[in-house]
Structure 1
Amino acid sequence: MASSKTKPNQTVEYRVCGMDCAEEVALIRRRLAAAPGIEDLRFDVVQGKLTAAFDPQTLTSERIAEEVSSLGLECRPWEEPPREAPFLERRGRDLLTALSGLSLALGFAVQVLESGDWLAAIAHHGHSESALAMACLLTAIVSGAVLVVPKGVKSLAGLRPDMNALVLVSLIGAAWLNEWAEAATLAFLFSFAGRLESWSMARARRELGGLMAVAPQQASVVHGDHEHRVPAVSVAVGSLVRVRPGEHVPCDG
């Protein structure tokens, strides 16, 4: 009688730059759930890690990375330690946010100088933007929304509106009403909020890395009336681990 063998699933880990909250997790999950061959998805937002189990006869690891990258997120194979990213890759979004904020401030300053009244500049009463103010505001809009617009377009095209789509629609509405200052303010604030989220997540990752650096590499596993020193990563679920006074806890449970 012939026996059939099922080829085991393949598991691959990816580093996803820009996966900082549950919104990106839900976006990735929806995209990959529709891909044939996906068996399981696990997310570690703190480390920016995606673990995918899939059928290698139906899907490839490169295809998974392409699907995630199509959402506007950078996806590459997991590396330990992570590679040193180029300066623009590490600070590009910070520079865009700073440019947006600076351009918005300059645009507002130009409006105040031209109107002679900062209240009138805020309310836009009795004047329209000059060419210089308009250039500053457009720069603020473009630099603040350049990363949001592609995500918003893909969200609307997929009939799955999210926060990026809401911001995109708001920007279009403000531009339609000639409220360029409001559009610039929205673009900057949303970009700045995204940077705050990324900065807080980066801090959490650094703190987690510091904890992992001091974590013991060995654990004392109790077997009956004796114990063995084994690598901490090999401790099985349900094992009894002995931690003496002054020692760090080698694993959680």
Structure 2
Amino acid sequence: MSRMMNDKYNIPSIYQGSKHKFEQATTVYLAESREKQEICLEAHSSLAKFADGQYQHLVRYTKSAVFETKQKGIVEAQVALEKLRKEPHTDEMKKMSSILSRQKSIDTLEVENTEKEKKNYLILAVKYYCQSLQCGDKHNLQVFRLVSLWLDNMSHDALADILNIELGNIPSYKFLPLLPQLSARISNDANNPFVHKLNKLLERCSVEHPHHTLPVLLSIVNLYLDKKYTHNLDSRALNKKNKEVGKQRNWQDPIL
């Protein structure tokens, strides 16, 4: 019966045909997946660069003389308004107070919007740098910029939330070139969110890449052993010198 079914349906040839079609479908699927992954990688990388560019532009602007003048003008306008409130309420004073108040509101809104926009672009840049590093290895050098933004904004709460989600999904080997910079910021402050994330990252690097990570960490642990060693050498040298001086004095003392 089994032989008749094999002859009728030619099961080996059906199996081979199905296997061939499955392999073809798998090849097409993998090719499409790689293509989609490449598109995703480039999209995240481009978005990160754009957001980072806008962030850097706003950082430069907030450090410019124009922005500082606006901030100073807000303070001066507030002081002037306080003085005007103490003056008699004449039409001239009301007009001046209205102008100052309006200008102060405009400048305050602009400063607040600039700071808000800067924070938003920072979050977007970090988010898309993380996702770019997760998607592939083509733009691995972006890890340097990611870490730079992270270290420059260690106390940024919204940035910390993004890193809590994204940082653990980036392969640890991408952080190996930055181990000296990261390990230099190790701290025992367990309540600090930045320190907690940094310690977790270094722990992951140590487990997954011990040959690269442990020498760097051990150099931090044994940072002050040289001083201890040189101190012992100095003590021995001093003792030896004192003994030699003592012997010389004893030899030079006259015999009575």
TM-score by length of 1: 0.30
Give the number of the structure whose alpha-carbon radius of gyration is greater. Answer: 2
- From the two aligned structures, give the one with the greater helix fraction: 2
- From the two aligned structures, give the one with the greater strand fraction: 1
Q: Which has the higher contact order (CA 8 A, sep 6+)?
A: 2
